């Protein structure tokens, strides 16, 4: 898959050479105003992109422009501002549909993010289709938002949520998956790229295997969309979900994509305005897609902002971005190999965007706090992946996660700060 770094070809343990990707990262950094600030008296090194990415000025200005020039509700207003807002709002939907190669814009449903997208599928498709004896398969490396909703609907329906084993490298065990697949399996729900380890799952193969027993497939793409192109038609999945804030867009906005026939058969998620066609005390009928799943006033500014963020990303050379990010990971691994007492967690054959590690004898929370004092922002803890941490018998990790605006200098600053942390703790 384009843009994803193979461990076998990353030169782990070798001396790092100068990057020759040709990607103008300094020009990109100028588009992200926050990167120029300081944190705790030091120039900011932002390495918490798996939690949320920073925002380009073009996205910020798009939201500001909406509130300054044409703030109005969408779809039902009989005036110029409403028309302009509706055009921008639905235009953003069209942008997102093209971004993931959806056959139609009506298959793109606005949600608050990946978490709500998965809950929507669990609460509607799950309640309507799961029954006692059915199984939902979920890898043991998943984010909690792709575990707990299925447990909740399973408790209501009598279905069972079954974990797919993960190997020592942090990869889904395909042999274990094959052994679990039978007529009881109604859904396989899994992440495209792990937020905790950066593992890139073999999505096309998992979809193929699931479909061989007639199961539906949901893919959590929250970590993937910023790192690699996504083509929902080529993947062959039934649902694909992601969050705007992890692809340089606003918080509180996300997307659920679904196959049209599957979405048409699903009941609504919430009741209220917009999602209805007619309402009477004798009965109510539902609106067409996508509005059947979009009750109430939507996050208009968020959708417009996400559309602007996607336009910003697509205006860049994504192959060059991928090469740049792969170079950053290879350089990080080479630095880590020469750092005494540092242990990588997760060494899958393909990894994107994440370097998860531990320092011998140090709690991840202490390491993160001391890095923050030096202006280096990372994430520590279980990363909403407690079953995965239990698999490794660890409390959590320190996670440095990269985006297109990070540099080798950021990596050098991370390891310089880790040298000081080691001196403070030992």
User: Tell me: the pLDDT tens digits for 37-68?
Assistant: 999 999 999 999 999 999 999 999 999 999 99
Location of structure tokens 């799943």: 293
In a domain, 78, yes or no: yes
> How many H-runs (helices) and E-runs (strands) does the chain carry?
15, 19
In a domain, 54, yes or no: no
Whether 119 and 266 share a structural domain: yes
The Cα 17–Cα 34 span in angstroms is 29
Q: Locate all alpha helices (DSSP H) within 18-110, ordered by sequence.
A: 25-29, 57-69, 80-99
Determine how β-strand 216-220 pairs with β-strand 397-401. unpaired
Domain count for the chain: 2
Token code pair at residue 317: 């050379």
Buried b (16+ CB within 10 A) or exposed e, 96-106: bbebbebeebb
Whether 98 and 181 share a structural domain: yes
Determine the pLDDT at residue 13: 32
The Cα 273–Cα 119 span in angstroms is 20
Determine the pLDDT at residue 11: 36
Whether 360 and 374 share a structural domain: yes
Determine how β-strand 379-381 pairs with β-strand 216-220. unpaired
Determine the pLDDT at residue 22: 81
- Residues of the chain with pLDDT > 90: what percent? 93
| Single pTM value for the model | 0.94
Query: By three-state DSSP, how is residue 48 classified?
Result: strand
> Residue 15: which of 342, 331, 366 has the closest Cα?
331
245: Cα separation from own chain's centroid: 9
Whether 356 and 293 share a structural domain: no
In a domain, 262, yes or no: yes
Q: Binning pLDDT at 50, 70 and 90, where does residue 18 land?
A: very low
What DSSP letter does each residue of 90-116 carry, written as one string?
A: HHHHHHHHHHTT-S-GGGEEEESSHHH
Contact in structure between 368 and 398 (CB atoms under 8 Å) = yes
User: Tell me: the pLDDT tens digits for 173-183?
Assistant: 999 999 999 99
Domain of residue 258 covers: 60-314
Determine the pLDDT at residue 23: 93
Torsion of CA 163, 241, 301, 58, to 10 degrees: 110
pLDDT greater than 60 at residue 316: yes
Contact in structure between 356 and 399 (CB atoms under 8 Å) = yes
User: Tell me: the pLDDT tens digits for 64-110?
Assistant: 999 999 999 999 889 999 999 999 999 999 999 999 999 999 999 99
Collect all residues with Cβ–Cβ distance below 8 Å to 406 and sequence separation of at least 6.
25, 46, 47, 49, 325, 328
- At 213, phi and psi to the nearest 5? -110, 10
Whether 181 and 243 share a structural domain: yes
Whether 205 and 305 share a structural domain: yes
Domain boundary among 257, 290, 314: 314
In the 8-state DSSP scheme, what is residue 264? H
- Residues of the chain with pLDDT > 70: what percent? 95
Which positions are annotated as active-site residues?
A: 384
The Cα 324–Cα 138 span in angstroms is 32
Whether 36 and 129 share a structural domain: no
User: Tell me: the pLDDT tens digits for 383-405?
Assistant: 999 999 999 999 999 999 999 99
Whether 255 and 277 share a structural domain: yes
Whether 267 and 280 share a structural domain: yes
Domain boundary among 250, 285, 314: 314
- At 328, phi and psi to the nearest 5? -60, -45
Whether 323 and 415 share a structural domain: yes
Contact in structure between 402 and 13 (CB atoms under 8 Å) = no
Buried b (16+ CB within 10 A) or exposed e, 309-325: bbbbbeeeebebbbbbb
Token code pair at residue 277: 């066609």
Whether 388 and 330 share a structural domain: yes
Contact in structure between 362 and 42 (CB atoms under 8 Å) = no
Question: What CATH number does residue 361 fall under?
Answer: 3.90.1150.10
pLDDT greater than 50 at residue 285: yes
Determine the pLDDT at residue 424: 87
Contact in structure between 221 and 1 (CB atoms under 8 Å) = no
Question: What CATH number does residue 87 fall under?
Answer: 3.40.640.10
In a domain, 129, yes or no: yes
Domain boundary among 285, 314, 343: 314
Whether 180 and 31 share a structural domain: no
CA separation (Å) from 383 to 41, 299, 339, 401? 27, 27, 24, 12
Location of structure tokens 């942090």: 170
């Amino acid at each position: 898959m384009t843009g994803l770094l193979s461990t076998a070809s990353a030169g782990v343990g070798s001396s790092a050479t100068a990057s020759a990707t040709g990607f103008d990262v300094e020009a990109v950094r100028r588009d992200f105003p926050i990167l120029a600030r300081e944190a705790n008296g030091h120039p900011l090194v932002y390495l918490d992109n798996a939690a949320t990415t920073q925002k380009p000025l073009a996205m910020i200005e798009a939201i500001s422009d909406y509130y300054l020039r044409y703030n109005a509700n969408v779809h039902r207003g009989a005036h110029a501002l409403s028309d302009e807002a509706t055009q921008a709002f639905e235009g953003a939907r069209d942008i997102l549909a093209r971004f993931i190669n959806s056959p139609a814009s009506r298959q793109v449903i606005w949600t608050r993010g990946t978490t709500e997208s998965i809950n929507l599928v669990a609460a509607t498709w799950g309640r309507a289709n799961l029954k006692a004896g059915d199984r939902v398969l979920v890898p043991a490396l998943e984010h909690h938002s792709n575990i707990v909703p299925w447990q909740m609907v399973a408790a209501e329906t009598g279905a069972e949520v079954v974990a797919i084993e993960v190997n020592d490298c942090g990869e889904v065990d395909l042999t274990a998956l094959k052994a679990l697949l039978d007529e009881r399996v109604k859904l396989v729900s899994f992440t495209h790229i792990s937020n905790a380890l950066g593992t890139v799952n073999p999505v096309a193969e998992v979809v193929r295997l699931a479909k061989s027993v007639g199961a539906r497939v949901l893919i959590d793409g929250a970590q993937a969309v910023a790192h690699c192109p996504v083509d929902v038609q080529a993947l062959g999945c039934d649902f694909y979900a992601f969050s705007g804030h992890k692809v340089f867009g606003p918080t509180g906005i996300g997307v659920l994509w679904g196959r049209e026939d599957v979405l048409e058969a699903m009941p609504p998620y919430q009741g209220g305005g917009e999602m209805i066609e007619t309402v009477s005390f004798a009965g109510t009928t539902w609106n067409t897609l996508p509005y059947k799943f979009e009750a109430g006033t939507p996050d208009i500014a968020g959708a417009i902002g996400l559309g602007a963020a996607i336009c910003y990303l697509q205006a860049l050379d994504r192959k060059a971005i991928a090469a740049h990010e792969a170079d950053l990971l290879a350089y990080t691994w080479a630095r880590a190999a020469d750092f005494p007492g540092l242990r990588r967690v997760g060494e899958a054959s393909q990894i994107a965007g994440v370097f998860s590690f531990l320092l011998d004898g140090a709690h991840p929370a202490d390491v993160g706090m001391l890095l923050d004092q030096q202006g280096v922002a990372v994430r520590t803890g279980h990363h909403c992946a407690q079953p995965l941490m239990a698999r490794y018998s660890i409390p959590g990790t320190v996670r440095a996660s990269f985006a297109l605006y990070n540099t080798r200098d950021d990596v050098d600053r991370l390891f310089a700060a880790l040298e000081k942390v080691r001196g403070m703790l030992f």
